[in-house]
Amino acid sequence: MRRAALSFFRFASSAALVGLVGIPRCARTNDAHAPREGPPPVAARGAIETVDVPGDERVLVVEGSARVQRPIVHLHGMCADPRSDLDAWGAAAREHGTVIALVGDVPCPDKPGTTKWTDDVEAIDARVVAAVGAVGVARARSLDDAEILVVGSSMGAARAEALAKKNPSRYRRLVLVGSPRTPSPANLEGASAVATLAGEREPQQMMRSGARLLSEAGTPARFWELPGASHGEYGAEGARIMSDAIAFVATR
């Protein structure tokens, strides 16, 4: 009789405790694993994300400061990895706008998984406009495709210059890194400002000459050296120097 009474007392005490807490004991045990409601986690500042572009390849994105709505479009070098470029300077550039890195549309047969750029400048222009629109929708930002700042590296720099020649009202601010040709004042006569850059360990004459010729023609232009960098690299000071070069063209 005493055992039965003791068992009943234990059961009643346990039931009362559960009733006071208001949730079943099993639910309390598994609470740490239950899905939580609320907004998704916010990406770290300067983090590289991806955004789908309807009918095209995904683009890499570094979301800019909330106070700046300018798109900064990046065109990588021949058979190069655009993510490595954004790793070097994407976080530093975000104070000047939202960085959107496209990938080339022609596969590199001798370097699987990489791409280069078509000669069809109109096709590249259409892809840029579509990418800016898709990122604006995905990130709920008012990105203006008439205020694009384009950063081109190597082959991408040559395509950036071609875009500025084809559509000077859209591509007025350019940062050209290690271009394979001397930037032409005739091609860039509609530009608001042009920055040229080259690594310390690569030939610099074309980039230096381009900045000088553009300045003489009346286009604000300036050359930057990337200390310790070879072609296709940015070096230890790349983030700071790229931020300075982007700021130079963004404010003119």
Residue 131: closest CA among 121, 116, 143:
143
Predicted local confidence at residue 67, as pLDDT: 83
Predicted local confidence at residue 146, as pLDDT: 86
**What integer is the mean pLDDT of 139-166?**
95
Mean pLDDT computed over every residue of the chain: 87
Predicted local confidence at residue 46, as pLDDT: 77
Cα three-residue angle 183-189-191, rounded to 5 degrees: 85
**What integer is the mean pLDDT of 10-38?**
38
- For residue 96, count other CB atoms closer than 10 A to its CB: 20
Minimum mean pLDDT among 31-40, 59-68, 119-128: which range? 31-40
pLDDT-derived band at 168, boundaries 50, 70, 90: very high
Instruction: Render pLDDT for 83-116 as a digit per residue (tens, 0 to 9).
Output: 999 999 999 999 999 999 999 999 999 999 999 9
pLDDT at 11 over 70: no
pLDDT at 23 over 50: no
Instruction: Render pLDDT for 196-251 as a digit per residue (tens, 0 to 9).
Output: 999 999 999 999 999 999 999 999 999 999 999 999 999 999 999 999 999 999 99
CATH number of 49-250: 3.40.50.1820
> Would you list the domain boundaries of the chain?
2-33, 49-250
Instruction: Report which of residues 18 and 94 the model is more confident about.
Output: 94
For residues 135 and 74, the answer to whether their CB atoms sit within 8 Å is no
Q: What's the predicted TM-score (pTM) here?
A: 0.82
CA dist list (Å): 50 to 55, 63, 132, 185: 15, 10, 13, 35
pLDDT-derived band at 57, boundaries 50, 70, 90: very high
Predicted local confidence at residue 45, as pLDDT: 67
Predicted local confidence at residue 44, as pLDDT: 61
Helices assigned H by DSSP within 55-189: 82-93, 121-138, 155-166
pLDDT at 18 over 70: no
Predicted local confidence at residue 65, as pLDDT: 87
